[in-house]
Amino acid sequence: MKQNIAILCSGGDVSGMNPALKRFVEYAYAKGMQPYFVRNGYEGLIDNQITPASYRDVSGIITRGGTKIGSARSKRFMEPAFRSLAAENLKSHGIDKLVVLGGDGSFRGMERFYHESGIAFCGIPSTIDNDINGTDYCLGVDTALGVIKEAIDQIRDTASSFHRAFVIETMGRNCGYLALISAITSGAEMCLIPEIPIDIHEYTDCYRSQIEKGRDYFIAIVSEALNSNEVSQWFEKELGFESRVTVLGHIQRGGNPSVYDRLMAYKFVTYAIDALIEGQNHFIICYNKSHFNFKTIDEVALHPYQLDEELLTLAREQFLPSHCQM
């Protein structure tokens, strides 16, 4: 008899989920399994939105951001009674293996679910914030960085023509990864992230001197955990520079999945299905130092995510006021 395997998306969507769904369906069939979709995350598990998936469901989706099967957060899944209903639904379809695209909250929920129901799962880290401890890379990050790069490049065109300071706010919750990589790769003058505390008033003398020597616009990248309006006001009051804030917001979540995210989706899903077939039953597939490996939720969520120390050292040399070139 054919083995059944299901996939769902939980929490924030990312570009890369659709390429993952496509690989999931194709690889499950290649392994002689019947793939299923669960719509709308854990809500769909509880409401039995579980259907067999076919090639037709995934044709043409590799170019699209978001997720064709929907994603959700679910308060009900926090309650044992609803998890029990979810388990019954899966079992009624003969499904005992599940691939979950989500964050560490989703994996924590799945771990409970596994211990209660015996249904095996593999978590694939998926968030543009890249803030999951235990993996260097999360699905969707590269596409988000590409979207931010495009936006900053375009803002630079107007900033340079109109001699303004542009303060650009990126997503990332409490993690400065998106802001930092974007600031470095876009040639920004300023980068403010929670991991590197900076008093912006310490830039005043240096920037004044740069303006005297001909600098006529600024690009500042600010992580969403910090106050971009305050930074903008500082440019106006301290430097007399007209300033505008651009909050990039949810455009960072969407867009045509990058080559790298398509490849990572392909690899994450392939190794996840292989490991589930081999009998691993509650794990998260992580990517460290160019290798895939399997970790438990306790290993993944043991510490809060920390930015790579080497990157932080480079960033301090670039962005601390004490290194500002007059």
Q: Which stretch binds ligand ADP (CB under 6 A): 7-15, 51-59, 140-148, 162-170?
A: 7-15
129 labelled catalytic: yes
Q: Which of 13, 129, 131, 261 is catalytic?
A: 129
- 66 is a contact residue toward ligand ADP (CB under 6 A): no
Residue whose CB is less far from ligand ADP, 109 or 176: 109
Tokens encoding 308: 């790579």
According to DSSP, the β-strands at 71-72 and 95-102 are unpaired
Residue 256's φ and ψ, nearest 5 degrees, are -60, 120
Count Cα neighbours of 160 within 13 Å in the Cβ-side half-sphere: 8
Q: Would you tell me how many other CB atoms lie within 10 Å of the CB of residue 197? A: 9
Quote the least distance from Cβ 111 to ligand ADP, whole Å.
8
Q: Which residues contact 214 (CB under 8 A, 6 or more apart)?
A: none
The per-residue b/e assignment along 90-117, b for 16 or more CB within 10 angstroms, e otherwise, is beebebbbbbbbbbbebbbbbbebbeeb
Beta bridge partners of 315: none
Binding characters for ligand ADP, 75-114, by CB under 6 A (x = yes): --xx-----------------------xxxxx-xx--x--
Residue 193: C-alpha distances to residues 133, 172, 199, 220, 250 (Å) = 18, 10, 12, 11, 19
Q: Which stretch binds ligand ADP (CB under 6 A): 9-17, 210-218, 220-228, 234-242?
A: 9-17
Tokens encoding 87: 């388990």
Quote the least distance from Cβ 162 to ligand ADP, whole Å.
39
Quote the least distance from Cβ 121 to ligand ADP, whole Å.
12
Q: Which stretch binds ligand ADP (CB under 6 A): 58-66, 69-77, 208-216, 316-324?
A: 69-77
- 19 is a contact residue toward ligand ADP (CB under 6 A): no
What torsion do the CA atoms of 252, 49, 285, 35 make, to the nearest 10 degrees? Answer: -120
Question: Rg of the Cα trace of the chain?
Answer: 22
Q: d(Cα 282, Cα 268) in Å, to the nearest integer?
A: 15
Residue with tokens 């601390």: 320
Applying CB under 6 A, the site for ligand ADP has a residue count of 17
Quote the least distance from Cβ 28 to ligand ADP, whole Å.
23
Cα torsion 50, 70, 304, 131: sign: positive
Contact with ligand ADP (CB under 6 A): which of 27, 36, 42, 218?
42
By the 8 A CB rule, do 5 and 29 touch?
no
Quote the least distance from Cβ 103 to ligand ADP, whole Å.
3
Residue whose CB is less far from ligand ADP, 14 or 159: 14
Quote the least distance from Cβ 30 to ligand ADP, whole Å.
28
- 13 is a contact residue toward ligand ADP (CB under 6 A): no
Positions 124 through 183 that interact with ligand ADP (CB under 6 A): 127
Residues annotated as catalytic are: 129
Sites of contact with ligand ADP (CB under 6 A):
10-12, 42, 73-74, 77-78, 102-106, 108-109, 112, 127
